[in-house]
Chains A and B, each alone.
Chain A
Amino acid sequence: MIDDEKLFAWLDGELEPEEAAEVEAAVAADDRLGALAQHHRRMQLQLSAAFDSVAELPMPDGLRKAAAPGVEIHHFPRARRLWGVPQWAAMAATLAVGVMAGSLIAPRSTAPVAADSGKLYAAADLDRALDTQLASAPAGDRIRVGLTFRDRRGAICRSFTGPGESGVACADGERWQVRGLFAPASGQQSEYRMAAGPDPNLMALVDSMIAGEPLDAAAERTARDRGWK
């Protein structure tokens, strides 16, 4: 007999492997239990998606100032007006650094990030790097992939660092949806920054998204061969 708490603990990945296997077998064998698990899983996805949309709400100026007193805030008014980039993307960039990085999201075919229907996707060589490059690959490429991991919804996500930007993108069908974007801090351009190790903002973002451990080199290669599904 699987009680509610145990079923939920299983859904949340809180059970030891043995117990998890027991629940998994029970869920597979019992249609009613299977349907219940399905309903709860869907409800949780909806709930977390609803609250994730908070990131798309305009950030009140008071909050920005409270978070970073003394940091001069630069707005990106053009980004949203011209290309429909949601506020959060501008926020991620402004907040992280307080410096302008206008080339990040630009209407050029070489820009690493492109907006589509209000979402941001990797483009050009960022898209290529995310598709093909393994995190274990030797450094030297313009864009470096840091960690590959699964988020709480099971999508493959990868953190990246380039000369002008760093961030996290997750596989969304055939594309990489950019889930967070940071511009380098002032005085921390390119090589210096690459040598300085991971950006704490980036690590905090990964930390907020990751489910379990990052993929190791073998699992990463397998994931790539399966098209990042």
Chain B
Amino acid sequence: MGSSVTFENGLVALLPRLRRFAHALSRSRADADDLTQVTLERALRSRDQWRAGTRLDSWLYRIMRNLWIDTARARTRRAKFEAPAEEGEHLGQDPRPAMDATLDLRRAMDAMSSLPDEQREVVALVLVEGFGYRETAEMLELPVGTVASRLARGRIALLQMLGEPA
């Protein structure tokens, strides 16, 4: 019972982080919440594969990332036919907290979406989620040097898009 309590508490506690990661990967907020939901469902179905004592967060991030990759092809195909990301999406119902962010979520998601998938996932894990290079490399099963070079390319592209107000 002990490990099941830990698993459930952990899942609930990690939900805000997972949802944030999903937004960093996804093109729209609806896609992000869908991705979060299928990740939770997959995690609960596969809970026997998680070993108590190992990091639950890395395990969940890996599930989310793999589900996201699985849908990558369909996503690219669909994107060609979709209208640009939803207009008029607002951050929450109370506008005040949202106004504090100098770069709003919509703009950040658009910028991330324009990165190639392999740069986007590295940027999301390191710059948004705060993982170290080595942890990121382990989650993505990549050499650390590859993580560093993809991160560099993603970062330079993001700075061009977001860095200096035109």
Contact = CB atoms under 8 A, between A and B. Distances in A.
A200 B37 contact: no
Contact of A208 (B33, B107, B130, B151): B130
B40 A63 contact: yes
A154 interface: no
Contacts of A152: 130
B36 interface: yes
Nearest to A52: B20
Interface residues of A, number: 54
A5 B126 CA distance: 14
A161 to B, nearest CB: 15
A95 B98 contact: no
B2 to A, nearest CB: 11
Interface stretch (A8-16, A24-32, A102-110): A8-16
B162 A43 contact: yes
A186 interface: no
B149 A211 contact: no
A24 to B, nearest CB: 19
B65 interface: no
Interface residues of B, number: 58
B28 to A, nearest CB: 13
A60 interface: yes
Interface in A58-74: 58-60, 62-63, 66-69, 71
Contacts of B32: 54
B16 A63 contact: no
A208 B79 CA distance: 32
B72 interface: no
A49 B94 CA distance: 17
A199 B36 CA distance: 24
Nearest to B162: A43
A39 interface: yes
B128 A67 contact: no
B130 A211 contact: yes
Contacts of A71: 12
Contact of B148 (A5, A40, A92, A118): A5
Main secondary structure of the interface of B (DSSP, over half): helix
Given A49-B101, A67-B15, A68-B8, A39 B164 contact: yes
B138 interface: no
A59 B129 CA distance: 19
Interface in A182-208: 200-201, 204-205, 207-208
B6 interface: yes
B142 to A, nearest CB: 15
Interface stretch (A81-89, A124-132, A137-145): A81-89
B158 A47 contact: yes
A120 to B, nearest CB: 10
Given A5-B148, A39-B164, A211-B130, 7 more contacts: A8-B155, A9-B148, A53-B105, A59-B19, A68-B8, A88-B16, A208-B17
25 contacts: A5-B152, A8-B151, A12-B126, A14-B133, A39-B159, A44-B127, A44-B155, A46-B108, A47-B103, A47-B128, A47-B158, A48-B127, A49-B101, A51-B20, A51-B108, A53-B98, A55-B16, A57-B29, A60-B33, A67-B12, A86-B94, A88-B16, A200-B10, A208-B57, A209-B130
**9 shortest interchain CB distances as A-B pairs:** A50-B108, A118-B96, A46-B103, A201-B13, A204-B13, A66-B40, A118-B97, A54-B20, A56-B92
